[in-house]
Amino acid sequence: MSNESIDYQGILEEILEEVQPFFGKGKNADYIPVLAEVPGDKFGMAVRTIDGREFSIGDAKESFSIQSISKLFTLMQVLGFSDCDIWSRVGREPSGTAFNSLVQLEYEKGIPRNPFINAGALVITDIINSRSADASRRIDDYYRLLSGNPQNRVDEVVATSERNHGFRNAALANLMCSFGNIHSPIPEVLEVYFRQCALTTSCIDLARAVLPLACAGYSSFAGQQILSAREAKRINALLLTCGLYDAVGSFAYRVGLPAKSGVGGGIVAVLPQHLTVAVWSPELDRYGNSLVGAQALELFTTKTGLSIF
């Protein structure tokens, strides 16, 4: 089937119906207490084709907490810095451990396995922080540029909740600092990281913001080349192998797309040269990924016949 002839809107409607039995099987994140208060029955999904068509359903326009999906945008931002070798400080391998695990970091001498686990994201944030007077603003501006939506802002209530319960992130940053792999003052890095995770966005905006990964680095919203085609290819490879933490293998098996999840319940996925798709549903599986969201993406690639494989 050529993807011009696919009835995306009809497929989204079928998905909305078919995911209904999966609500109530997962659980909102509660280690960041305000995330537990989001109604568990929320569901939105948005598809954006590279020729500019957009399809959406449910709560696709509603804002939610971006959480770890921000790690994708900070990585894109840092790879856009011309003189920056991040790969001496962060690996490119799946971790096989939870996103906030400390164990591996100790025996691998403070070098996180990849940029999408919390430790790796903290290093990326440290890199942005050491190059900017206002790193938080720089990260938000970058996301606003890519999503084309100046309304995407930090939710201060979520940021405070992150800050007040950020014990593991503080432990990760301290451990890495002891190995010399955090260069800025730890409280600064943590504050920027908590704020990037507390950005709000919608499925529609996420699908727009990741377009450079489907379009060889070009963002039609920013009106510019954000990354080289080669960097876009590399990020997609990292998403496929590391984007869903210790559930990445079964997600690739079920869905077949590079993707990034967040504990706010969002997942964004990319089919290079074709489309991007974002889904939001706050109840998570035991790996911290949206349970209904993963199911919806599996239905999407099955029904459309589109995946990278």
Binding site for ligand DON (CB under 6 A): 67-68, 99-100, 118, 162, 169, 197, 261-263, 288-289
Q: How far is the CB of 188 from ligand DON (least distance, A)?
A: 16
Q: How far is the CB of 2 from ligand DON (least distance, A)?
A: 34
What the block records as the tokens of 249 is 């293998």
Return the beta strands (E) in 208-291 as ranges: 218-219, 224-225, 259-261, 266-271, 275-280
Cα 169 from Cα 190, distance rounded (Å): 7
Residue in the block written with tokens 């559930």: 247
132 is catalytic: no
Catalytic residue among 19, 192, 263, 268: 263
| 193 in a labelled binding site | yes
Catalytic residue among 63, 68, 147, 281: 68
245 is catalytic: yes
Quick one: 116 or 142, whose CB is closer to ligand DON?
A: 116
What the block records as the tokens of 30 is 């509660």
Cα 33 from Cα 49, distance rounded (Å): 36
Q: Closest by alpha carbon to 43, among 262, 280, 289?
A: 280
Q: How far is the CB of 260 from ligand DON (least distance, A)?
A: 8
Residue nearest to ligand DON as judged by C-beta position? 68
Quick one: 94 or 262, whose CB is closer to ligand DON?
A: 262
CA 63-282-6 angle, to 5 degrees, is: 75
Catalytic residue among 42, 63, 65, 71: 71
Quick one: 67 or 136, whose CB is closer to ligand DON?
A: 67
Please tell me what DSSP assigns to residue 182: -
What the block records as the tokens of 141 is 């501006």
Cα 209 from Cα 15, distance rounded (Å): 23
Q: How far is the CB of 99 from ligand DON (least distance, A)?
A: 4
Q: How far is the CB of 267 from ligand DON (least distance, A)?
A: 9
Q: How far is the CB of 7 from ligand DON (least distance, A)?
A: 31
263 is catalytic: yes
Task: Please answer whether residues 232 and 76 qualify as being in contact, where contact means their C-beta atoms are separated by less than 8 angstroms.
Answer: no
71 is catalytic: yes
| 181 in a labelled binding site | no
Per residue in 170-209, is it b (16+ CB within 10 Å) or e — as a string?
A: eebbebbbeeebbebebebbbbbbbbbbbbbbbbbbbbbb
Catalytic residue among 245, 260, 277, 279: 245
Catalytic residue among 123, 154, 193, 248: 193
Quick one: 50 or 72, whose CB is closer to ligand DON?
A: 72
Quick one: 12 or 182, whose CB is closer to ligand DON?
A: 182
Residue in the block written with tokens 């699908």: 207
Cα 172 from Cα 181, distance rounded (Å): 11
Cα 197 from Cα 193, distance rounded (Å): 6
| 162 in a labelled binding site | yes
Quick one: 6 or 159, whose CB is closer to ligand DON?
A: 159
Kind and range of the H or E element at 47? strand 44-49
Tell me the binding residues for substrate.
68, 118, 162, 169, 193, 245, 263
Looking at the annotation, which residues are catalytic? 68, 71, 193, 245, 263
